């Protein structure tokens, strides 16, 4: 009998372990959180067609994500500040991904920089990047990542400015100065396990890849102030050409929700897109990602990879996404909760549970290989 933690169990464990503002940062969505809830509700409405008496003794769930092999069609997507959820959290998550044979994408706003993750995480990660105003710093960062041998860039385009997240504002995440430090200290003191293991033993808590851009700043409020000042609202498709000229590997455009933008991304030189609404954390009221997926797949028309995130919690969800045309899924909250709940072992357990669920889903829909995944799996 398999005994692995569920998404809900790891979420509860993360809530008990993390200071309030950190849990709220993972858990919250934009504004009234309609889109965050819709991501999950739309997946729940999809039904798979059960098939029986089919020889499933030679099942294969291996995949290619962004042209690279993966043990299953799943990767750990970029999650900000993961080094505050567990001690050197990005490194622990990268180790878990490497152990289970799936990709790990390092967030641009990580605590551990990509050099540390590559050195200590047992893998060369994918790297997420936003367009920032300081093009010289951005150029130097791209050059560093390319020199380290990173082959896949996840260029996130749906955050020209941060979304309105009321729960984060109420939790004290954006507070700066003495008031912010006092609120953070009080919340940390109420979680002594986190305080000892992460805050004290997990230092330094820098701004990872952007540490040189904001020297001397260590508070979460300071980081958010820098993001609001430096993320670039003037970004357009010509800027992808600027990035493309400097990046020799794969570029995935993350934040695509409609056919028009998918076509524009491939026309501008992208190798793939990620259908994403930032986990419902940016513009509330937009489509659930699984609802947007079919039109994006049609617009891609085989020109490159189509991945999806948003609400993916189980192997059954993964198979639903593949049936609608996705090449694979990126996880966000699922691995963030798992990391907070149990560090590297928590993420390994989460991936093993998802793999077991995918095995059952493939077996009972008669899907022996991922090449067989299509609309025929849907009821």
Q: DSSP readout, 223-261?
A: HHHHHHHHB-TT--HHHHHHHHTT--SEEEEEEE-SHHH
- In this structure, what is the dihedral angle of CA atoms 178, 183, 186, 192, given to the nearest 10 degrees? -110
Q: Of 101, 235, 57, which Cα lies nearest the Cα of 156?
A: 235
Q: What strands lie across the sheet with 305-308, from one edge to the other?
A: 74-76, 328-331, 305-308, 272-275, 250-256, 152-156, 126-129, 105-106
Out of 20, 37, 205, 278, pick the active-site residue.
278
Two structure tokens written together for 206: 């820098």
CA dist 232 and 89 (Å) reads 28
Sorted by sequence, the CB contacts under 8 Å of residue 297 that are 6+ apart come out as 306, 324, 325, 326
Two structure tokens written together for 37: 């809830």
Strand partners, 369: 60
DSSP classification of residue 377:
G
- Cβ atoms within 10 Å, residue 192: 9
Between β-strands 63-65 and 68-70, what pairing exists: parallel, antiparallel or unpaired?
antiparallel
| H/E element, 306 | strand 305-308
278 in active site = yes
Two structure tokens written together for 335: 């691995």
Sign of the four-CA dihedral 118, 124, 125, 130? positive
Two structure tokens written together for 134: 């300081």
CA dist 336 and 342 (Å) reads 10
Sign of the four-CA dihedral 166, 172, 176, 177? positive
C-beta of residue 108 within 8 angstroms of C-beta of residue 130: yes
Q: Give the residue numbers annotated as catalytic, written as ranges.
A: 278
């Amino acid at each position: 009998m398999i005994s692995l933690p569920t998404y809900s169990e790891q979420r509860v464990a993360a809530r008990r372990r993390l200071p309030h503002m950190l849990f709220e940062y993972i858990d919250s969505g934009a504004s009234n959180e309609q889109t965050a809830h819709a991501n999950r509700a739309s997946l729940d409405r999809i039904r798979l067609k059960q098939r029986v008496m089919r020889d499933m003794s030679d099942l294969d769930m291996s995949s290619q994500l962004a042209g690279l092999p993966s043990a299953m069609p799943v990767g750990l997507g970029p999650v900000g500040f993961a080094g505050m959820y567990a001690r050197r959290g990005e490194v622990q998550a990268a180790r878990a991904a490497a152990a289970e044979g799936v990709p790990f994408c390092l967030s641009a706003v990580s605590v551990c920089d990509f050099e540390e993750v590559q050195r200590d995480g047992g893998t060369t990660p994918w790297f997420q990047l936003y367009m920032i105003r300081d093009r010289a710093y951005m150029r130097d960062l791209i050059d560093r990542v390319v020199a380290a041998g990173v082959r896949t860039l996840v260029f996130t385009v749906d955050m020209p400015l941060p979304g309105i997240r009321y729960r984060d504002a109420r939790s004290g995440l954006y507070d700066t100065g003495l008031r912010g430090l006092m609120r953070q200290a009080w919340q940390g003191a109420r979680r002594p396990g986190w305080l000892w293991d992460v805050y004290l033993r997990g230092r330094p808590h820098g701004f990872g890849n952007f540490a040189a851009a904001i020297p001397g700043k260590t508070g979460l409020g300071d980081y958010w102030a820098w993001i609001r000042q430096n993320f670039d609202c003037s970004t357009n498709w010509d800027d992808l050409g600027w990035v493309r000229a400097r990046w020799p590997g794969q570029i995935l455009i993350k934040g695509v929700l409609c056919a028009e933008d998918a076509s524009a991304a491939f026309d501008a030189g992208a190798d793939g897109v990620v259908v994403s609404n930032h986990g419902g954390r940016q513009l509330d009221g937009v489509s659930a990602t699984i609802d947007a997926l079919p039109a994006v797949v049609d617009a891609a028309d085989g020109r490159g990879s189509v991945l999806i995130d948003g609400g993916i919690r189980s192997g059954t969800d993964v198979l639903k996404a593949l049936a609608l045309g996705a090449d694979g899924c990126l996880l966000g909250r699922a691995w963030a909760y798992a990391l907070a709940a149990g560090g590297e072992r928590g993420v390994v357990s989460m991936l093993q549970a998802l793999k077991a669920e995918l095995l059952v889903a493939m077996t009972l829909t008669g899907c022996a290989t991922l090449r067989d995944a299509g609309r025929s799996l849907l009821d």
